[in-house]
Chains A and B, each alone.
Chain A
């Protein structure tokens, strides 16, 4: 596709359930980032993948959060045993080369009830 694609665009889940958020980066982009944006807040870094290197997981807020990137392309962010404080917009972004601007997807709005 022409841009970064995220699905679903909206997800409502009950507290305690697991959720999976998907990101399909721009073809050929080797780097992929996940950010979280709570209402009225800036972007909080979660995790970063670059090619075949080990991901930088330093931003994941707890061990309930994990992410994978299969085949160097699609990424899935998994949140286990969701809590109400996990409610936010989860944004994925990719870029082609180190230092080039990020291209963002439209995000997944997660609401935990």
Chain B
């Protein structure tokens, strides 16, 4: 069965901490892995990863993919209260099918 598994399910940290969110997957014909941030309504796109070992970076957020071990991590450094959200990992596979993990709920307290 094709699946995406995220861990931890929930994370509570203080401002300034660094967090690492994990995403592992098992799919046929992998194409790419995507990270989204969901605050109240629509998920917003963060990163798309296609190649192993190449870090994508945007400000304090970065992500990397390991296609051999079938996982990705999302790092957030110097966390801020505005980083509080659910972070969703999704995998695109076969022709154009996209499935999501259950998400990691991050809460950042001042």
Interface residue ranges, A against B (CB under 8 Å): 4, 31, 33, 35, 41-45, 48, 50, 56, 91, 98-99, 101-107
CB of A101 within 8 A of CB of B45, answer yes
Whole-angstrom CA separation of A20 from B4 in the bound complex: 29
CB of A31 within 8 A of CB of B96, answer yes
Q: Report if A101-B42 is in contact (Cβ < 8 Å); known contacts: A33-B98, A35-B100, A42-B100.
A: no
CB of B42 within 8 A of CB of A104, answer yes
Is the CB of B34 closer than 8 A to any CB of chain A? yes
CB of A102 within 8 A of CB of B45, answer yes
Q: Which residues of B contact A101 (CB under 8 A)?
A: 34, 45, 48
State the interface size on chain B (CB cutoff 8 A): 22
Query: Residue B103 contacts which of A4, A33, A35, A42 (CB distance < 8 angstroms)?
Result: A42
A4, A35, A105: residue with the most chain B Cβ atoms closer than 10 Å: A35
Additional A-B contact list (13), CB under 8 Å, known A31-B96, A45-B100 = A42-B6, A42-B88, A42-B102, A42-B103, A43-B43, A45-B97, A48-B96, A98-B96, A99-B32, A103-B45, A104-B43, A104-B44, A106-B42
Whole-angstrom CA separation of A101 from B44 in the bound complex: 10
Contact residues, B4-46 vs A (CB, 8 A): 6, 31-32, 34, 41-45
Whole-angstrom CA separation of A101 from B103 in the bound complex: 17
Contact residues, B85-110 vs A (CB, 8 A): 88, 90, 92, 95-103
CB of B101 within 8 A of CB of A42, answer yes
CB of B100 within 8 A of CB of A43, answer yes
CB of B88 within 8 A of CB of A43, answer yes
A42, A45, A50: residue with the most chain B Cβ atoms closer than 10 Å: A42
Q: Which residues of A contact B45 (CB under 8 A)?
A: 101-103
For B96, give the chain A residue with the smallest CB separation: A98
For A105, give the chain B residue with the smallest CB separation: B42
Q: Which residues of B contact A56 (CB under 8 A)?
A: 97
A-B contact pairs, 13 of them (CB 8 A): A31-B96, A42-B6, A42-B100, A42-B101, A43-B88, A45-B98, A91-B43, A99-B31, A99-B92, A102-B90, A103-B45, A104-B42, A105-B42
